[in-house]
Structures are given as structure tokens and as C-alpha cells.
């Protein structure tokens, strides 16, 4: 999709943000604009706001009215007496962490209203666990959490939905990627602000493709093509295997299954993937899933593919491409790995593979449908720390998702920018122009249809559900019967959801 | 009782006490151990009864005897116990990670994990970090080996 076409479709998509809300003809943002708050400046005077038509007032109570509110003006008052300090927990490491530190330092020294103190908690998992274990006093003012923690966070009843701040500030969300926002919206509430977005892409070895007589500018789009390519690669002896597949919960086993079902237009769990009401059961044991995993099994049995196991370190599938004796030619992995992979290859550790040999294509699927679900993490504001802290956290969020910062962030890390304005700004503009490999993940997000299936599932115990799904995929890839494995996993997952829902706070 | 079995309860106790991100939060749970109790008890048992009687003649009560006579005499064992405590807590990961949320309170093992996450493509750096972290233990063991063995075996045989 060209940048121009994107720009045109963006406001139209932005109007239809919330899935449930769209069904009733009313989007989250529209809902947020009426009735206009009488005390604050009229939001309609702000740029971007005019793209959202105002609906006639409705008497229906909105879900957000019962949630903690946001008073952005509290910061003006508090900042008069000195900067407001907020604590921000994140789960990034590596160059991602360093880049976030750089952006934060720049922000802290650029103004006198907010001081952000970064605290790295290790991984996303550490971040979730520490947040859940802490009481209000010990929680940070702002926390970064991954896409599978949405329902878990909603049920802690401990956050100020960013929608409350958007409405209070009259914030124009028109430039933010609708798909990224939708991923963190549920039951007509925009809970969190997407910050770092990634999705699975195909990594392939261009040199092997050329050796096998394949066009290295045309990566396979469907699973049938993956099989055909794999057979050709094996027959010509260009490499030992076609694609390498894993069954990690956050990779080939759990996350990719969610992606593939979305690409097939199927729901992963009931109640519109848990977005109109909490999910009560999973739907990944249907005929589409069985057909999908049967085809994936055939990729391994007859399509030259190789199954590399549960991949606990998250690198086995990628390292298979660099295997000295029996290498594979392709794999599917998160786009967030592209930066590290290129850096790794650049170091010259792998003989025979250079930076230019790494090819990136869209994630292959049974029918080659474009688009991908949002992965990565979002920013949540903690409630109960006072209006000034919440407002300060909100102000920092608006800085992080601004076009200028997203341009730097995406260019430095390889994440998809959540702000479409970032594409027109350097450094990202030149990175995308110089190296189209970084653009593939962005295009997948931009091509995702505005449909409940493409918002991905929100399930309280999604972490655990992914583990059961991953175990099933592992069984299937090592030769098990797809229908049985999926049915067993679905029954287990539905039990997990039932016991989670029984202890939900609203019950 | 393995420590892991009580880690959740212990952590919420620390939270209620407001001891997250503090030295007392990191250290207090390990001050009293069953091993230490029995080690010191055995040493106290070896003290001759005559010492106790002499102390009483000099007007020392029960606590006075403990403070003035018994503890000073058990000093080598207490030193060994302190060393032993250091060696076992230096390597801890789970507890320090769960009671600290700020970089300032992260211990060396958390740092090591962060290093191994951050420098995936530089195993030499990670190994160098591991060696540096292990150094204090090596040095202490080499220098104090004799005292450690003597202290830990004091009272092993009731004399």
C-alpha cells in the first residue's frame, strides 16, 4: 500500500475504532466527543477533531463513565510548583532499552513539567508479575505491557483508560494507526496507548533462493507456495530444509495461530474475540483451524520444512537458517527481531550470510491474505496516584507517540510506528526508502482489515491459553493428529478461561 | 521448607512493611536461619560449665553472660556463619528480584541476567561479566577457607 493511499484511508478507519462500538454505529472516539465537556475548551476547535462527526446526544451510560477519570489540567497546577515526577516500568532490554532511555532523557531535559524515571523490570513477564503483585503505592505511574495482558490489566481495575485522557485533552488520534489502537480497546473503552508494535514476518535467505533457481524478490505468500519453494530448495540441494517452524507460545505455537486465524477471517475466542464481552471459550478447534494445521503439518512432512521444537530461547527457528550442517532457508519470526538479526549478521559471526542476504516478506498464510495482528506492547496509566501524576503520564505518552518520536523510535528499533505522520519524517522516511525490509511489518498493519477478527483475542488467561495452543501445535508438527490435538487444547483452554472468569472482580 | 514455597507470602509481608527497595527488605528474611541457629547452639554447648559459674560469681545474669562471655567466645563461628550467609545470598536471584523494582536496588545477579539479555551476540562480554561476579566468592573462599572450615566444624564434636 502506498503512503498516499494510507493517508486517505486513515481518517476513515479512525472513525470506526472500537469494534463493538462500530457495530452499533458509534465509535469510541465519537462517543468520546459527545456531549462536549462544558468546562474545558471546545474540542471541536482542535486540529484533527473535525474529522470526527458529532453524534446527537444519547442517554445511554457509557462504560468509561464508571472508570477512573483523567484531569489533564491537574498537571498545569502541579507543575507550577516544580516538575511532577513519574515512574515508568518497562520490559525492554538491549538497544531497545538504550533507545528508550535516550528518548526519555531528551524529554526530561526539554521541559520543566514532567520528570520521567525509567525502571527496567527485565522482561514483559517480569513487568506483568511485579505489577500484579504490587499494591497501589508500589505500582509505577506508567507501565508498559504486552498485547496478551489486556484483559488481565482490565481486571486489575487499577488503570486510568487513556480514552479518559484523550477526551479530557481533546486529543486528536487521527494520525495513530487505527489497528494499533483497536488492539488495546475492549468493551468500547480505549484502555492503553500502543507504543511499540511488531508482527510476524517471513525471514528468508536470498542466496539460497537464488541457488535453488527461485526469484529472491518473490517470497512465498501462501502455505502451498512455502511447500513448493521448500521442495525446490531441497531438490536442488540449495539448503537442507525449506522453512523452519517452532511451537513457542509467543511464536509459532501460540501467537502465529492467532495471526493465521485472523488471516482466515476466523475468531479465536467467542464474544468477538472477547472485545464485546469477556471471552468464555476458545474457537481454535474449528474446521478452519484443523485444515490450517493439517496444511502446516504437510509443510513439514512433504514441503521441505523442519520443526525445531518449542524454541524456549526464542531463537532456535532463526538460528536454523545459520545452521552449519543442515540449514533451513526460511522462517517466520517477529519483525522486532529484524534489527538484532541484521546486527548479528553484520558482526560476521555466520560465515556465508551477509546483511544483504536476509530477505523479509509478509507472513505466509493458507490463502495469502495480507494483514497481521498487532504484537508488541502498550502504555497503561495507573489509577490512584492522583490527577497530577496521571496527567503527567498522559503528557509523556503523547510525547512518545508523536510523529517525531515515533519516527526516531521506529528507525532505531525496527518497530512499526504507531503514528502515520512518522512516515513523512526523517529518520524513518529515509530508513524505509533505503531498506524496504523494515517497511514490511508496517504494511502488514496498514493492510489489516477493520474487522473484529483482526483485533486479536483479549482473554484473561491468554498467556496460559497460548501455552496450551502451543503444545497442540507442537504435537501436530511432530506428527500428531490435528483435530484431536486442537480439540484437547481447546477444552483445556476453555477450562482455564472458565476458572479465570469465576474469579473476575466483577463476578 | 524450601524458600520458594513462601516467597509470595514473604513478598507481600515486605510490601505491607514498606520494605520493597530497601536493605532491610533484601536482608532481614535471611538473618535467622535454622542452620545458623543449630550451628551457634552447638558451639554454645561446648562452652564449659565453669565459665558460666565464674560469670555468675562476677554478677552477670543470663543475658549478661551471653553478651560478655558466650558470644565473644563464639566469634570464629559467627564469622564463619556470616561468610556462609554471604556466600549463599550473593548468588540469590529470585528474592532480590521480587523485592526490588528500582534499578538502584537491583543486585548483581539481576544485573548479570540483564547483561545476558542485552548482549546476545557478545558471549565474551557475558562470560566476562559472569567471571567478575564470581570473583568475590572465589577470593573470599581462598582467603578464608581455613577459618570457614574451622568455624563451621566448631561444635561439630561435643568436647
Instruction: State the average pLDDT over residues B25-30.
Output: 89
Report CB contact under 8 Å: B15, A120.
no
Report CB contact under 8 Å: A340, B114.
no
Residue A241 is inside which H or E element, if any? strand A241-245
* pLDDT classification of A50: cutoffs 50, 70, 90: very low
B117 touches chain A (CB under 8 A): yes
Separation of alpha carbons B106 and A312, rounded Å: 25
Report CB contact under 8 Å: B98, A344.
no
Report CB contact under 8 Å: A349, B114.
no
Of A122, A340, A349, the CB nearest to B114: A122
Could you tell me the domains of chain A?
3-197+374-453 (3.40.190.10), 200-371+461-502 (3.40.190.10)
Which residue of chain A is at minimal alpha-carbon distance from B111?
A122
Of B20, B120, B121, the CB nearest to A138: B20
Closest CA of chain B from A105, distance in Å: 16
Q: Does position A382 have pLDDT exceeding 80, yes or no?
A: yes
pLDDT in tens, A194-223: 999 999 999 999 999 999 999 999 999 999
pLDDT in tens, B40-63: 898 888 888 898 899 988 888 889
Q: Does position A277 have pLDDT exceeding 60, yes or no?
A: yes
The CA angle B32-B37-B40, to the nearest 5 degrees, is 125
Q: Does position A267 have pLDDT exceeding 80, yes or no?
A: yes
pLDDT at A354: 87
Q: Does position A244 have pLDDT exceeding 90, yes or no?
A: yes
pLDDT at B120: 67
Cβ partners under 8 Å of residue A477, min gap 6: A245, A247, A296, A297, A300, A307
| Integer CA distances (angstroms), A103 to A87, A403, A409, A432, in order | 15, 13, 8, 21
The residue to which cell 503528557 is assigned = A395
Per CB-CB distance under 8 Å, the chain B contacts of A355 are none
Separation of alpha carbons A443 and A2, rounded Å: 9
DSSP 8-state class, residue B70: I
Instruction: Tell which residue, B135, B114, B138, has the closest CA to residue B126.
Output: B114
Report CB contact under 8 Å: A93, B102.
no
Helix/strand/coil for A94? helix
**ipTM for the assembly:** 0.73
DSSP codes of every residue in A374-441: -EEEEEEEESSS-HHHHHHHHHHHHHHTSHHHHHHHHHHH-PBPSBGGGGGSTTHHHHHHH-GGGHHH
Report CB contact under 8 Å: B12, A133.
yes
Q: Structure pTM?
A: 0.80
pLDDT in tens, B92-149: 888 998 888 888 888 888 888 888 877 766 788 889 999 999 998 889 888 888 887 8
Q: Where are the domains of chain B?
A: 3-153
For the domain B3-153, what is the CATH code?
1.10.3720.10
Q: Does position A41 have pLDDT exceeding 60, yes or no?
A: no
Report CB contact under 8 Å: A123, B117.
yes
Closest CA of chain B from A116, distance in Å: 13
pLDDT at A292: 93
Cell of B41: 547452639
Amino acid at each position: 500500500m502506498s503512503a498516499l493511499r494510507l493517508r486517505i484511508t486513515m481518517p476513515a478507519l479512525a472513525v470506526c475504532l472500537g469494534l463493538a462500538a462500530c457495530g452499533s454505529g458509534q465509535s469510541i472516539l465519537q462517543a468520546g466527543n459527545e456531549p462536549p465537556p462544558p468546562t474545558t475548551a471546545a474540542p471541536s476547535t482542535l486540529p484533527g477533531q473535525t474529522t470526527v462527526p458529532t453524534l446527537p446526544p444519547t442517554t445511554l451510560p457509557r462504560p468509561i463513565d464508571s472508570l477512573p477519570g483523567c484531569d489533564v489540567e491537574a498537571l498545569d497546577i502541579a507543575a507550577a510548583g516544580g516538575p511532577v515526577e513519574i515512574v515508568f516500568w518497562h520490559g525492554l532490554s538491549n538497544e531497545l532499552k538504550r533507545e528508550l532511555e535516550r528518548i526519555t532523557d531528551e524529554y526530561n531535559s526539554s521541559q520543566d513539567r514532567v520528570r520521567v524515571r525509567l525502571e527496567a523490570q527485565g522482561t514483559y513477564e517480569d513487568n506483568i508479575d511485579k505489577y500484579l503483585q504490587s499494591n497501589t503505592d508500589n505500582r509505577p505511574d506508567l507501565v508498559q505491557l504486552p498485547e496478551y495482558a489486556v484483559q488481565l490489566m482490565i481486571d486489575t481495575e487499577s488503570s486510568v483508560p487513556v480514552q479518559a485522557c484523550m477526551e479530557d485533552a481533546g486529543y486528536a488520534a487521527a494520525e495513530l494507526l487505527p489497528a494499533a489502537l483497536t488492539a488495546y480497546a475492549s468493551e468500547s473503552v480505549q484502555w492503553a496507548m500502543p507504543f511499540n508494535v511488531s508482527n510476524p514476518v517471513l525471514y528468508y535467505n536470498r542466496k539460497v533462493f537464488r541457488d535453488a533457481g527461485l526469484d529472491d524478490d518473490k517470497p512465498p505468500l501462501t502455505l502451498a507456495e512455502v511447500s513448493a519453494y521448500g521442495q525446490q530448495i531441497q531438490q536442488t540441494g540449495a539448503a537442507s530444509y525449506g522453512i523452519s517452524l517452532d511451537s513457542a507460545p509467543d511464536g509459532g505455537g501460540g501467537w502465529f495461530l492467532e495471526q493465521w486465524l485472523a488471516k482466515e477471517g476466523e475468531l479465536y475466542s467467542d464474544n468477538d474475540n472477547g472485545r464485546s464481552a469477556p471471552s468464555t471459550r476458545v474457537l481454535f478447534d474449528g474446521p478452519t483451524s484443523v485444515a490450517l494445521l493439517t496444511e502446516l503439518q504437510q509443510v513439514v512432512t512433504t514441503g521441505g520444512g523442519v520443526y525445531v521444537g518449542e524454541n524456549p530461547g526464542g531463537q532456535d527457528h532463526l538460528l536454523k537458517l545459520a545452521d552449519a550442517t543442515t540449514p533451513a532457508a526460511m522462517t517466520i519470526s517477529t519483525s522486532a527481531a529484524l534489527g538484532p538479526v541484521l546486527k548479528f549478521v553484520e558482526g560476521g559471526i555466520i560465515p556465508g550470510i551477509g546483511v544483504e542476504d536476509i530477505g523479509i516478506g509478509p507472513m505466509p498464510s493458507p490463502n495469502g491474505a495480507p494483514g497481521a495482528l498487532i504484537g508488541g506492547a502498550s502504555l497503561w496509566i495507573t489509577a490512584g496516584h492522583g490527577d497530577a501524576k496521571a496527567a503527567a503520564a498522559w503528557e509523556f505518552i503523547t510525547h512518545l507517540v508523536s510523529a517525531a518520536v515515533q519516527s526516531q523510535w521506529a528507525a532505531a528499533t525496527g518497530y512499526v510506528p504507531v503514528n502515520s505522520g512518522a512516515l513523512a519524517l526523517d529518520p524513518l522516511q529515509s530508513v524505509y526508502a533505503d531498506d524496504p525490509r523494515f517497511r514490511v511489518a508496517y504494511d502488514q498493519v496498514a493492510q489489516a482489515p477493520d474487522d473484529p477478527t483482526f483485533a486479536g483475542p483479549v482473554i484473561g488467561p491468554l498467556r496460559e491459553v497460548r501455552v496450551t495452543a502451543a503444545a497442540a501445535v507442537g504435537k501436530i508438527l511432530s506428527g500428531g493428529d490435528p483435530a484431536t490435538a486442537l480439540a484437547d487444547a481447546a477444552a483445556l483452554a476453555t477450562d482455564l478461561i472458565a476458572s479465570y472468569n469465576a474469579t473476575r472482580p466483577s463476578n | 521448607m524450601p524458600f520458594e514455597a513462601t516467597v509470595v507470602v514473604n513478598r507481600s509481608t515486605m510490601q505491607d512493611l514498606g520494605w520493597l527497595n530497601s536493605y532491610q527488605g533484601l536482608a532481614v528474611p535471611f538473618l535467622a536461619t535454622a542452620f545458623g541457629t543449630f550451628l551457634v547452639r552447638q558451639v554454645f554447648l561446648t562452652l564449659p560449665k565453669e565459665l558460666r559459674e565464674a560469670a555468675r560469681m562476677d554478677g552477670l545474669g543470663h543475658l549478661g553472660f551471653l553478651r560478655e562471655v558466650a558470644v565473644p567466645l563464639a566469634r570464629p563461628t559467627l564469622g564463619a556463619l556470616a561468610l556462609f550467609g554471604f556466600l549463599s545470598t550473593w548468588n540469590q536471584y529470585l528474592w532480590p528480584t521480587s523485592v526490588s523494582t528500582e534499578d538502584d536496588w537491583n543486585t548483581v545477579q539481576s544485573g548479570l541476567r540483564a547483561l545476558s539479555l542485552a548482549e546476545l551476540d557478545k558471549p565474551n562480554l557475558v562470560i566476562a561479566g559472569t567471571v567478575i561476579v564470581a570473583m568475590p566468592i572465589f577470593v573470599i573462599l581462598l582467603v578464608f577457607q581455613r577459618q570457614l572450615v574451622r568455624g563451621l566444624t566448631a561444635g561439630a564434636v561435643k568436647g
